[in-house]
Structure 1
């Protein structure tokens, strides 16, 4: 397993439950998650059930309430409730700290199976040979879980263009609630997005995006956020004023505009961002990485031959390509700046929601209605 992020830990835990001996190679000296919060939706919760940790993750859910899409002035465009999502899919969505999910997955895998501070320099896909700073390893199955700028992916598919810049920069942070009313929502303006989600412990996860040239950095990122969102609906300005500037994370958003031809070659399989990097607009990046791990383990009994990994590629390629494209479509909609285009977008969403009150859930049926392979679930 190359990479100790969510995809690597999930795949490692799933393979161990199928009887594989697993080693996770992580170049960092510690398992240190990048980012603040993330969404674990109904489809990923079903996958986590296969790993035996679904209920532990569900226990971290916050209280029920309304969630949906709003305008910058606070008017709801479309919304639903966690209860409605639970009734439809058997689960809703858990918003949690990335660090907490990493801890859960590391425990499921067994921390003794993680080798920290180990750098991978090369992979031989045909032999299953991994060259590392600690020596060479040979394996029946190598899993590339080394993230969006995956060296493993580049070695397997050197002709693939790799991730491309989406045109937006994202900010993330954790802010004390401080008695504020915090409805779970995402708000859209003219090229701007701001999301707020209450986490366990009265911590609020906030995120924002804006259309900017790649590599744009500001001396004070919180001041930049206040300049952009200080006039938006409550509680956004108060949350930004309460934020610690030193704890605001900013990064450019990249995604795979062109799908990979396969998620494997030889003895090597790819999972997570290494296989299908997507914009965060659907909240499915971590969810799809967890699905990958479960499906890979389901097909891994034949992984020593090309047949097992070909079945994995077939099971995951079409689904993840659709989700990457849907997320990119939402990203493009959120980037609209012209007042007329923004007005038409907001009117369209609001009108569709009035005609079909369950629009928000129905539009996600194909994503959230996923179930693990039957054998894996058993």
Structure 2
């Protein structure tokens, strides 16, 4: 390999995972994050087998599992509580070796940070320019600090300025038509199951249970982009207060100031490449997708391990990046398409006839068939880093 230093732009889950992978193969890594503190303010996350396998290769899988709760019970329901499909977490565990795990995002983020040397994290700095020279050079923050590296990893999220500079003709993220409100309950609450989704006309409510007894909930609505509420929790009580238990109880266990609200965007137009020069795009910067399959973070973790493995074995950075693009772009874009389709057939459906047809199909689908559909995305085996 002709180089062994990298700058990772973005200190989210994907950026930190990429830095851990590069650090494990002996590279010098600097993570550049524009926020003054490295912490993920999101609510909760589900990690499927593919994401957990990636974390195992990064050396943090056991710590993540110990901080997470397996999703064995639950499924999908109607607003009145009727089951459309039940989750068989034990069958999934037998098939892929692990159940889906639920964990607070902040906890996952902390565990990833702890796996890196403190000096590898540069916060309060922004990569405001990128010079494609040899070795690659990235200019960091407004004071003119320059970091020289053999590789730049653009993990700066869905609105990625790095992507815009590298692919100026790309239209960027598009609004999905849905907006999401979410929070973690202030105190322990018994939701009855590990994980649930409830689908109403153009709306979804779901929860993830955590090991400490608290739960994350999310509410997704079909609304124009930019819609906001003066009192989000009161608005959710109005919309979901008559839905089945434990939905009202989850809302009642939440502090109003804890509610986060974000519009859901995606990269509807696929990128022509996940690489440009000596830069690799990773995570949402490369393939931001809707959350309907719970695969956004898992795909970023796959990216991180695949990139590190390619750099560990290829003779040059350019050869490693070519391999990374060939491996990751078809899969990442296929999962993004599948997530978009799942949203259209799930939460976004609003016509009563279409909803009735979908609900009937779900009730008639055998559990084994449903498990096979899940395995299409979960049954990924990572390359080895050691």
Tell me the TM-score normalized by structure 2.
Answer: 0.93
The answer on whether the counterparts of 2:77 and 2:83 sit within 8 Å (CA) in structure 1 is yes
Alignment of 1:220-235 (within 5 A): 220-235=231-246
Q: Which residue of 1 aligns with 2:329?
A: 317
The answer on whether the counterparts of 1:74 and 1:232 sit within 8 Å (CA) in structure 2 is yes
Query: 1:266–1:303: structure 2 CA closer, same or farther, 3 Å change rule?
Result: farther
Distance 1:303 1:201 in 2: 47
Distance 2:308 2:16 in 1: 12
Note the alpha carbon deviations across 1:220-257, whole angstroms, 9 max, x for none: 00011111111111010121122111100000000011
| Structure 1 unaligned regions, length at least 5 | none
Distance 2:137 2:194 in 1: 50
Note the alpha carbon deviations across 1:39-77, whole angstroms, 9 max, x for none: 111111111111111111111232663232111111111
Distance 1:63 1:137 in 2: 41
Distance 1:183 1:233 in 2: 16
Q: Which residue of 2 aligns with 1:150?
A: 160
Q: Which residue of 2 aligns with 1:123?
A: 130
| Cα RMSD after superposing both structures | 1.4
Shift of 1:196: 1.0
Distance 2:33 2:316 in 1: 23
Distance 1:132 1:80 in 2: 47
Q: Which residue of 2 aligns with 1:112?
A: 119
Note the alpha carbon deviations across 1:255-310, whole angstroms, 9 max, x for none: 01111111101110011100000011111111111111100001114485422101
Distance 1:3 1:171 in 2: 24
1:23 to 20, 30, 43: 30
2:301 to 290, 295, 306: 290
Note the alpha carbon deviations across 1:316-338, whole angstroms, 9 max, x for none: 00001111011101111221111
Q: Which residue of 2 aligns with 1:250?
A: 261
| Structure 2 unaligned regions, length at least 5 | 1-7
Alignment of 1:32-111 (within 5 A): 32-62=39-69, 65-111=72-118
The answer on whether the counterparts of 1:140 and 1:303 sit within 8 Å (CA) in structure 2 is no
Query: 1:143–1:180: structure 2 CA closer, same or farther, 3 Å change rule?
Result: closer
1:336 to 317, 332, 349: 349
Tell me the TM-score normalized by structure 1.
Answer: 0.95
Shift of 1:82: 2.0
Shift of 1:126: 4.3
Which stretch shifts more, 255-264 or 175-184? 175-184
Distance 2:89 2:232 in 1: 32
Query: 1:297–1:63: structure 2 CA closer, same or farther, 3 Å change rule?
Result: closer
Which stretch shifts more, 300-309 or 287-296? 300-309
Number of matched residues?
A: 373
The answer to whether structure 1 residue 351 and structure 2 residue 364 are counterparts is yes
Q: Which residue of 1 aligns with 2:140?
A: 132
